[in-house]
Amino acid sequence: MAFNLFQGIRVPKNNTNPPYESFLETRGFRPEIQGLRAFAVLLVVIYHVWVGKVSGGVDVFLFISAFLLSLSFMRKINEGKPLKLLNYWTHVFTRLLPAASVVILLTLAGSFLVLSPTIWSARAVDAQVSLFYWQNWNLANNSVNYFASNTGGKSPFLHFWSLSIQGQIFLLWPVLFAITALLVKKVRIKPVPAAVLVFGLVFCASFAFSVWETKNFAAYAYFDTRTRLWEFAVGTLLAIMTLKWKPAHVGIRVVMGWIGTIGLITCGAVLPVEKAFPGFLALWPILFGALVIIAGRTDHKFAIDRLLVSKPLLNLGNISYALYLVHWPMLVLYSAAVGKPRVSFLEGTVLIAASIGLAWVLNRFVEKPLRSASDNFLPALASKLKFKRPVTSYAAWAGNIAFVAAILALVAPTVLGTRALAEQRDAQVINNAMVSVQNDADTYPGARALSPDKELVEADPIPKNATIASLFVPWDTGCKGSYALTHEQLDISCGYTKNASDDAPLFAVVGSSHALQKTEALKGISKQAGANQLNLLLTGCPYPFTQPENTVNGFMKRCIPFTENATAEILTAKPTTVFIISTTTATTAEGETVDPGLDETLRKLTDAGIQVIGIRDNPRFASDMYMCAMKAKNIDDCAEPIEAKYGEDPAAPIFAKYADRGAYQIDLKDVYCPDGKCSVLQGNVYMYADSNHLTNVYEATLTDIIYERALAAGWDPKGTTAK
């Protein structure tokens, strides 16, 4: 047996394994599978455009890819042929990259023409990770909601998540078949049992992990490659099994084909795909798709394969990849251009027809010519120069490598350059806004506009057309010196700002992303007080959090140990003052809550001589307030009355119990909602980055207000406890 980068692994040619032949496995074109591929993509398109849901068709599309890939590799292993891993990888990506690259460039251009500048850099990032088959991890890590009701708010690159997973599988699966070939040679196992062992283990491990992660981290699980491996493994196991199965009676196969087809059509309508996939419910489209494949080609007049092998579906199958590529950006960009979250039936019909037409153009003038060029140019050149066969063989994969490299060399600089320019613009917008609120408080007072002697100057509000990400305070990357904490397992964001000597007062800011945003205001207070500042933050976790009944979502399970570890760190570091966001607001006034553990937390901290300043949470809204402000003709259209957001302060009585021990509650509702109205603009500064986070620029204008109110409440910045 031999292995090298060019030939891969193979079993000896003198093996005695008979050729694989079954009622399904043939070496020729499989029209019914081509038709099923077209049918699956058509389901995806129809559900996206007309229904506004996910169909499960993508799962079938991935499953079919694994099925066909596996038949080819199993045949090579059985017949002792080299696997030629490098040849396979370069061959696959020369077919995938051309059309994908063209669509990425066109979609990026369309995004900059149609979409708001607030999301340009985000779309450039999407283009980059899509080009390098990493979009699924980008979406997972950013907790993107693929199923948001507003289609216009979705990324036109969102559908590249499945193509990214597919690309990753195309790299991994040949390696697993190489392991299978090793087992055949070294352990003397027959090819089929060896493959069942390898891919059966993959199925079991991935399926168990998928069920667990879908239950606990559904949004992340949807895009996680590890939770999708089992779907590919089923395709491989089915391919293996069909090599040994005897054909069922035609009548049974006709029934199987129809049951499978009906199951595929109804999947998206019956199942909560957006919440339950890819857990065990994802078996639905996979198993029903398997029934259609097992039914095979019957040629029975009542069989579904008569439809699958019809000319329209076969023609659609030829452009199915291109159709999947183009339909989603066309839908998203059109919806954004006309300002409609959902398209009408007529608009959807036109979009589907246009997508099919564009897919045909892409296939005819991009895929086919470039595929032919990559396959034939270097081999033909080597043959014409009368090189021997090995050189001609190497010319094939060398040509593919050169082809892939050429595409990336042409496309990547454009994508990366666009991203760099967009991010440079974002940084400039925020930097200019920060300079304005710091150096021109008369024009851009923000919250300071509420001062009785302040007369507001008319000016264009800032920051205008900023990206959402740039409106947030960056998460701290780590602490240094005495506060080099090790909480990596909890993803705690730790930051330490040194404003004075080590024996100066120490302020600590603890909590979730709302506390993170507040650090923009509090860092000014620390500087004024001559104190150093320690930030202990974890996204999604208010401090304190002591509610095990609210940890059904795995995301919140981190919050209880975060509270315990943060409290322990506070009691060790002994800061002079701890700042927290003391309540958690909701979109309605009655939804504002305090954690049941707040009383006990205040007792522990004040017993240790630590002052605690609680800041009441800012209002939350049902929609993105920054985008509302960008689009509204009248800014008051985005506002809501204060009684809709605030009732009595639920934290005030608890803080009152410990007021004589150094616990003080600051209520800023009159700042957030002056004159009985909770708006999005104050003192020529936009207040909200999204539906519930204040912008970093607005937070910078709150420093003096918080400082003065804390002093008025009795707070001593020097405190009674030295660091």
H or E segment to which residue 508 belongs: strand 506-511
SS (H, E, C) 6-39: CCCCCCCCCCCCCCCCCCCCCCCCCHHHHHHHHH
Least confident of 144-158, 393-407, 544-558, 563-577: 144-158
List CB contacts of 348: < 8 A, sequence separation 6 or more: 49, 50
- Beta carbons within 10 angstroms of residue 279's beta carbon: 19
List CB contacts of 361: < 8 A, sequence separation 6 or more: none
Q: What pLDDT, on a 0 to 100 scale, did the predictor assign at position 282?
A: 86
Q: What pLDDT, on a 0 to 100 scale, did the predictor assign at position 363?
A: 94
**Confidence tier at 193 by pLDDT (50, 70, 90):** very high
Q: What is the chain's length?
A: 723
Three-state secondary structure call for residue 278: coil
| Domain segments of the chain as ranges | 31-401, 472-622+646-671+695-713
Q: What pLDDT, on a 0 to 100 scale, did the predictor assign at position 311?
A: 92
| Strand residue runs (E) in 298-414 | none
Counting DSSP H helices and E strands in the chain, the numbers are: 26, 10
Is the pLDDT reported for residue 34 higher than 80? Answer: yes
**The dihedral sign for the CA sequence 173, 175, 178, 183:** negative
Bridge partners (DSSP) listed for residue 677: 641
The interaxial angle of helices 368-384 and 389-439, nearest 10 deg, is 140
Instruction: Write the Ramachandran bin of 188: left for phi over 0, alpha for psi from -120 to 50, otherwise beta.
Output: left
Question: Does residue 92 contact residue 394 with C-beta atoms inside 8 Å?
Answer: no
SS (H, E, C) 360-418: HHHHHHHHHHHHHHHHHHHHHHHHHCCCCHHHHHHHHHHHHHHHHHHHHHHHHHHHHHH
Question: Does residue 697 contact residue 430 with C-beta atoms inside 8 Å?
Answer: yes
Q: What pLDDT, on a 0 to 100 scale, did the predictor assign at position 13?
A: 52
Q: Per residue in 61-81, pLDDT tens?
A: 889 999 999 988 998 898 888
Q: Scan for tokens 């709150």, then name that residue.
A: 702
CA distances from 78 to 6, 70, 181, 198 (A): 19, 12, 9, 16
Bridge partners (DSSP) listed for residue 496: 534
Going by C-alpha positions, the residue among 17, 6, 24 that lies closest to residue 79 is 17
Q: Per residue in 440-469, pLDDT tens?
A: 999 999 999 998 877 888 999 999 988 888
- Beta carbons within 10 angstroms of residue 458's beta carbon: 6
Q: What pLDDT, on a 0 to 100 scale, did the predictor assign at position 481?
A: 45
Q: Per residue in 5-18, pLDDT tens?
A: 445 555 555 455 65
Strand 577-581 versus strand 506-511 pairing type: parallel
SS (H, E, C) 123-140: HHHHHHHHHCCCHHHHHH
DSSP result, 649-708: -TTHHHHHHTGGGTEEEE--HHHHSGGGEE-SEETTEE-BSSSS-B-HHHHTTSHHHHHH
Q: Scan for tokens 């208010």, then name that residue.
A: 542
**The dihedral sign for the CA sequence 401, 402, 405, 407:** negative
Q: Scan for tokens 């990206």, then name that residue.
A: 467
Three-state secondary structure call for residue 282: helix
Is the pLDDT reported for residue 150 higher than 90? Answer: no
d(Cα 533, Cα 464) in Å, to the nearest integer? 30
Question: Does residue 608 contact residue 721 with C-beta atoms inside 8 Å?
Answer: yes
Is the pLDDT reported for residue 551 higher than 90? Answer: no
Q: pTM here?
A: 0.83
Q: Per residue in 475-510, pLDDT tens?
A: 776 665 444 444 443 456 677 777 778 788 999 999
CA distances from 665 to 583, 617, 657 (A): 10, 11, 11
d(Cα 660, Cα 720) in Å, to the nearest integer? 13
Side chain identity at residue 309, one-letter code:
V
Is the pLDDT reported for residue 146 higher than 60? Answer: no
d(Cα 31, Cα 356) in Å, to the nearest integer? 20
Q: What pLDDT, on a 0 to 100 scale, did the predictor assign at position 29?
A: 62
**Running DSSP on this structure, what letter comes out for residue 387?**
-
**Running DSSP on this structure, what letter comes out for residue 342?**
S
List CB contacts of 150: < 8 A, sequence separation 6 or more: 341
Question: Please, is 484 exposed, middle or buried when counting C-beta atoms within 10 Å of its C-beta (0-12, 13-18, 19+)?
Answer: exposed
Q: Per residue in 652-667, pLDDT tens?
A: 999 999 999 999 999 9
Q: Per residue in 589-614, pLDDT tens?
A: 999 999 999 999 999 999 999 999 99
Three-state secondary structure call for residue 504: coil
d(Cα 367, Cα 286) in Å, to the nearest integer? 28
d(Cα 351, Cα 355) in Å, to the nearest integer? 6
Phi–psi pair at 722, nearest 5 degrees: -85, 150
**Running DSSP on this structure, what letter comes out for residue 104?**
H
Query: What's the CATH number for 472-622+646-671+695-713?
Result: 3.40.50.2300
d(Cα 76, Cα 186) in Å, to the nearest integer? 17
Mean of per-residue pLDDT scores for the chain = 86
Side chain identity at residue 212, one-letter code:
W
d(Cα 82, Cα 6) in Å, to the nearest integer? 9
* Distance spanning both ends of the chain, measured CA to CA: 68
Q: Per residue in 308-335, pLDDT tens?
A: 989 999 999 999 999 999 999 999 999 9
Question: Does residue 87 contact residue 21 with C-beta atoms inside 8 Å?
Answer: no
d(Cα 290, Cα 256) in Å, to the nearest integer? 9
* More reliable by pLDDT, 370 or 684: 684
Q: How many CA atoms lie within 13 A of 278 on its CB side?
A: 28
